[in-house]
Amino acid sequence: MAAASTSRLVPAATTKKPAASGRVRRPGAKGAGIPKGMMPPPDRPLVNPGLSRAQLLEIHRFMRLNRMLEDKLTALYRQGRISGGLYSSLGQEAISVGTAYALAPDDLLAPMIRNIGSMLVRGVTPLDFFQQYMGRYESPTHGKDGTLHFGNVERLSIIGPISHLGTLVPVMAGAALAARLRGEAHRCSLTYVGDGATSTGYFHEGLNFAAVLKLPFILVVENNGYAYSTTCDRQFRVASIAERGPAYGVASESVDGTDVLAVYAATQRAVQRGRRGEGATLLETRCLRMQGHAQHDDMRYVPKALLEAWAKRDPLERYERFLVASGHATPDTLRATAEAIAPELDAAADAAEKCPPPSPEETLKGVYKEEGYEAPWWPAA
């Protein structure tokens, strides 16, 4: 602590406040416009932070796979072949893939519900996801949970989320702490929160815990403009969540979440800080949630103009334009990637559908440790 000099007035906010009165704009409401700051950041050219061609193309493949896998899940959902919640990461693929790709395989990663791309990078397969969404016995949860609610620590260094927002923040701080205790201090730990989940007490307790213990922890904020129907001006009164870094004494940064290379590079910087023992990073990524909160939500409340503006910033198309312009790919090779993925996904979905559901008595198993009933039981793990 520095000496508290005398009365020292800190300005109320370092940048423009989102709203000037107690009454807050509602973009969905009649006659309301688009809140300032919700429009996309300037469209800067993508810059290769030193990745090889193979790496660049691998990133592309993951992003394409992310998108096509979710498209397939949506189709299955509409056909009634999967049930439960289905949350889309359309427009946010660069964040999942860019952050996960910047990690070493043994860095710890915990996805939230829109981070199917992060899990793909880690090696979870489409078959795993289909089984999971279809509640099959051989899914990563034996049908006991759905969506991305699973993990595998030993082989994939993934910790799975629960629904309760924010809970993973301290959990992943603890994972980083454990790595240090085990003499594996090089292992960083990364997880995600949405703009909405920054309001949870866990965001504060977990980030502060990591800051005080100087843990190599990276908290990625996916600021996609909405928490369900709620805009950011009802969620916090700062222009960017990166402004909260100084409040915790951690590094913070805000990047364009539709630029996969910028996301990758920022995550790399955070990883390097972590590995150098410089502690935690709060990394805001800006984007727009391009679909409803989940399948049932028609997102009537999102202004058309906003969607259109961000549609031009589609992270996959942007990245493809970069790859072509920089000579790393041609439209044909990119199309070939997609064409190779499609049958793979169809086959995986069909295979999953043929897998048996759990037997009803499975319900009673595995609440506590049972001999001979040990995870992970799923093939990919």
Which CB, 131 or 223, lies closer to a copy of itself?
A: 223
Distance of CA 58 to the CA centre of its chain: 18
Q: Which does 79 bind (CB under 5 to 8 A by kind): ligand TPP, a copy of itself, Mg ion, none?
A: none
Which CB, 76 or 215, lies closer to a copy of itself?
A: 215
The least distance separating a copy of itself from the CB of residue 40, rounded to whole angstroms, comes to: 8
Q: What single letter denotes the amino acid at residue 273?
A: R
- Provide the 8-state DSSP code for 152: B
**Cβ–Cβ < 8 Å for 221, 282:** yes
The least distance separating a copy of itself from the CB of residue 295, rounded to whole angstroms, comes to: 27
User: Measured on CA atoms in the order 259, 262, 268, 274, is the torsion positive or negative?
Assistant: negative
The least distance separating other proteins from the CB of residue 302, rounded to whole angstroms, comes to: 11
- Provide the 8-state DSSP code for 357: P
**Cβ–Cβ < 8 Å for 113, 132:** no
Which CB, 74 or 200, lies closer to a copy of itself?
A: 200
The least distance separating other proteins from the CB of residue 88, rounded to whole angstroms, comes to: 17
Angle in degrees, CA 109, 115, 119, rounded to 5: 55
Which CB, 160 or 216, lies closer to ligand TPP?
A: 160
Give the footprint of other proteins on residues 292-311 (CB under 8 A): 301
The least distance separating other proteins from the CB of residue 43, rounded to whole angstroms, comes to: 30
Is 120 one of the binding residues for a copy of itself (CB under 8 A)?
no
Is 106 one of the binding residues for other proteins (CB under 8 A)?
no
The least distance separating Mg ion from the CB of residue 195, rounded to whole angstroms, comes to: 4
- In terms of phi and psi (left: phi > 0; alpha: psi -120 to 50; beta: otherwise), the region of 143 is left
Q: CA–CA distance from 29 to each of 24, 77, 89 (Å)?
A: 11, 30, 25
Q: CA–CA distance from 362 to each of 70, 133, 148, 159, 195 (Å)?
A: 28, 17, 20, 23, 37
Contact residue for Mg ion among 38, 127, 221, 227 (CB under 5 A): 227
Residue count, binding to other proteins (CB under 8 A): 84
Question: CB under 5 A: which stretch of 88-96, 97-105, 221-229, 266-274 binds Mg ion?
Answer: 221-229
- What residues line the site for ligand TPP (CB under 6 A)? 114, 163-165, 194-197, 200, 222, 224, 226-228, 289, 293
Is 232 one of the binding residues for a copy of itself (CB under 8 A)?
yes
Q: CA–CA distance from 240 to each of 14, 220, 232 (Å)?
A: 10, 13, 10
Contact residue for other proteins among 111, 126, 135, 279 (CB under 8 A): 135
Phi, psi angle pair for 25, to nearest 5°: -60, 145
Q: What CA–CA distance (Å, rounded) separates 378 from 290?
A: 32
Give the footprint of a copy of itself on residues 271-290 (CB under 8 A): 277-279, 284, 286
Give the footprint of Mg ion on residues 186-205 (CB under 5 A): 194-195
Give the footprint of other proteins on residues 212-231 (CB under 8 A): 212-213, 227-230
Q: Which does 274 bind (CB under 5 to 8 A by kind): other proteins, ligand TPP, Mg ion, none?
A: none
Q: Would you state the structure tokens that stand for residue 281, as one six-digit string?
A: 């990073």
